[in-house]
Amino acid sequence: MIEPISFYSRKRISIQGGDVLHFIRSNDKNFSSFGEVYFSFINYNSIKGWKCHNSMTMNLTCIFGEVQFIFAHKEHEEEWIFSEYILSPKNNGVLYVPPGYFFAFKGLIKPYSIVSNLSNIVHNELEVSRLSIDSIPYAWP
């Protein structure tokens, strides 16, 4: 596993009419500051990535469907190291990702899934590095 990427389980509260899933609180260990919250739709079997936020800290959760996240990191120009996480409302939690890691994600459920990101800064295209999907040698299933 790549450190310091971390998965934090969150509460699921069962109530009549539909469950409540906790996402993040201002006193959580993985919360630093608020920049923005956005939602990203990912179609079934589609892959988005590779990209790396050079300044942004992400707190990712899947609010609908199921999504496979792959994080890639190179230490000292050696081979790529990969970490995989599956996010869904079933395993309700938050994936904390500090700046500096390339990642891509794949939709695993038809017709689409929805990921939410609470970031510490407002999105700025100038702080993002991008690579084509075949630039990093990961064997997608």
Query: Is 90 domain-assigned?
Result: yes
| 138 CB-contact burial (10 Å; exposed 0-12 / middle 13-18 / buried 19+) | middle
Who has greater pLDDT, 10 or 56?
Answer: 56
Is 135 domain-assigned? no
Q: What is the CATH number of the domain that holds 80?
A: 2.60.120.10
139 is a domain residue: no
Whether 111 has a pLDDT exceeding 70, the answer reads yes
Tell me, yes or no, whether 136 lies in a domain: no
Helix (H, G, I), strand (E, B) or coil at 29: coil
Q: Quick check: is 38 in a domain? A: yes
pLDDT at residue 75 in the model = 75
Both structure tokens of 102: 């390339």
Closest C-alpha among 67, 63, 55, 52 to residue 116 = 63
Q: Note the pLDDT tens digit of each residue in 24-80.
A: 888 888 888 889 999 999 999 999 999 999 999 999 999 999 999 999 988 777 889
Residue 51 lies in a domain: yes
At 15, is the pLDDT very low, low, confident or very high (cuts 50, 70, 90)? confident
Q: Is residue 1 part of a domain?
A: no
Name the average pLDDT for the chain.
92
What are the pLDDT digits (tens) for 84-105? 999 999 999 999 999 999 999 9
Domain that holds residue 111: 6-130
The pLDDT confidence band at residue 2, using thresholds 50, 70 and 90, is low
For the chain, what is the domain count?
Answer: 1
With a threshold of 0.75, does the pTM exceed it? yes
State the DSSP string of 52-71. EESS--EEEEEEES-EEEEE
Q: Is residue 89 part of a domain?
A: yes
Place 3 in a pLDDT band, splitting at 50, 70 and 90: low
Amino acid at position 116, single letter: S
Residues 17 and 129: their CA atoms lie apart, in Å, by: 43
